[in-house]
Amino acid sequence: MRSGIVAIVGRPNVGKSSLLNALVGQKVSITAPKPQTTRHRIQGVLHGDNAQIVFVDTPGMHRAAKKALNKAMNDAASNSLHYVDLALFVIEAGRWTDEDEAVLERLKSVKSPVALVINKVDKFSDKNDLLPLMEKLAPLREWAFVMPLSALKGANVNVLAKQLMERMPEGPPLYPEGQVVGHDLSFTISEMVREKLMRSLAQELPYALTVETEAVEREGGLLKASAIIWVERDGQKKIVIGEDGAMLKRVGTAARRELEEMTGGKVFLKLWVRVKEGWTDDPKALSRFGYEGG
């Protein structure tokens, strides 16, 4: 039996969460077309015949850590690299930015092996077009291996999983068989609601809000949960609630449906919107909302 921990790192939006979900074959991390969707360290577990891999999906690394929130996200991303057996550095096919460069820089101090994953290859019909980037990156550091793939289409994801399993050290499983998600239900509920909000709201607003699940209880086959959406200003609260509560209702319904699909039972979800000024720059509030570091 082999078992180990693999970190997934990279700038926001390269597809780290999508890759995690594709690897473990189930939605454990929320994804969205906007950067900074992932703020927490999320774990997913891949169970193979003779191997188990625990993945940590790190928040994107940010260059300018001006606000406490961004600093907390950077700390969480760096700290998660100290104890891993391998780190996957995910980049986007055909696209190398200053932010990728900054992540590469941070990886210099990492002693664990680092593999390069070039995601979104489905965007290129001619795979030869990927070669220039691969040739540029190959000499930049020692790579455990280089793997082009598409998390979205599932291309090469199994090949990656096999590579990883072979590289894990010998050891007993870290999680019981069948457990895919390493975090609890209230966290999943918060993330589910936050994903729906991010998909429904305008560009700037999502970063000014966070979701806190305040209660979860089971009543027979029914799962009852309530969650608070924290925003920074009254104006933001109005937007989240929407005209006659339409936005909040839409978000609540979408989150509830997905939770019902996930749990296989009926869900009752109550959402509240509250204002807490300046929470994104308040270390105490950050710690209360579950962000590390800060």
Nearer to Mg ion, 37 or 52 (CB): 37
Counting Cβ atoms within 10 Å, is residue 226 exposed (0-12), middle (13-18) or buried (19+)?
A: middle
Distance CA 290, CA 103 (A): 24
Comparing C-alpha atoms, which of 12, 20, 14, 96 is closest to residue 62?
12
Stretch that binds ligand GDP, among 29-37, 44-52, 158-166, 207-215 (CB under 6 A): 29-37
Interface mask toward ligand GDP for 43-82; x: CB under 6 A:
-----------------x----------------------
Return d(Cα 240, Cα 217) in angstroms, integer: 25
Biggest CA–CA distance in the chain, Å, is: 59
Q: Is the Cβ of residue 152 or residue 225 nearer to ligand GDP in the bound state?
A: 152
Q: How far is the CB of 25 from ligand GDP (least distance, A)?
A: 15
Please state the φ and ψ torsions of residue 11, each to the nearest 5 degrees: -65, 165
**Interaction of residue 33 with ligand GDP, rule CB under 6 A:** yes
Among 2, 24, 31, 195, binds ligand GDP (CB under 6 A): 31
32 binds ligand GDP (CB under 6 A): yes
The partner residues of 89 in beta bridges, in order of sequence, read 9, 116
CB of 105 to ligand GDP, least distance (A): 18
Question: Contact at 8 Å (CB) between 3 and 166?
Answer: no
Nearer to Mg ion, 51 or 100 (CB): 100
Residue 119 touches ligand GDP, criterion: CB under 6 A:
yes
Helices (H), the chain: 16-24, 68-79, 98-107, 131-137, 157-167, 185-200, 234-241, 246-263, 283-288
127-156 binders of ligand GDP (CB under 6 A): 150-152
8 A C-beta contact, residue 62 and residue 73: yes
290 binds, among Mg ion, ligand GDP, none (CB under 5 to 8 A by kind): none
Within a 10 A sphere around the Cβ of 285, how many other Cβ atoms?
A: 19
CA dist 148 and 157 (Å) reads 9
Count of residues that bind ligand GDP according to CB under 6 A: 22
Tell me the residue number closest to ligand GDP, measured at CB.
15
Binding mask 152-181 for ligand GDP (x = CB under 6 A): x-----------------------------
**Among residues 47, 67, 95, 123, the one that binds ligand GDP under rule CB under 6 A:** 123
Task: Provide the binding-site residues for ligand GDP, judged by CB under 6 A.
Answer: 10, 12-18, 31-33, 35, 37-38, 60, 119-120, 122-123, 150-152
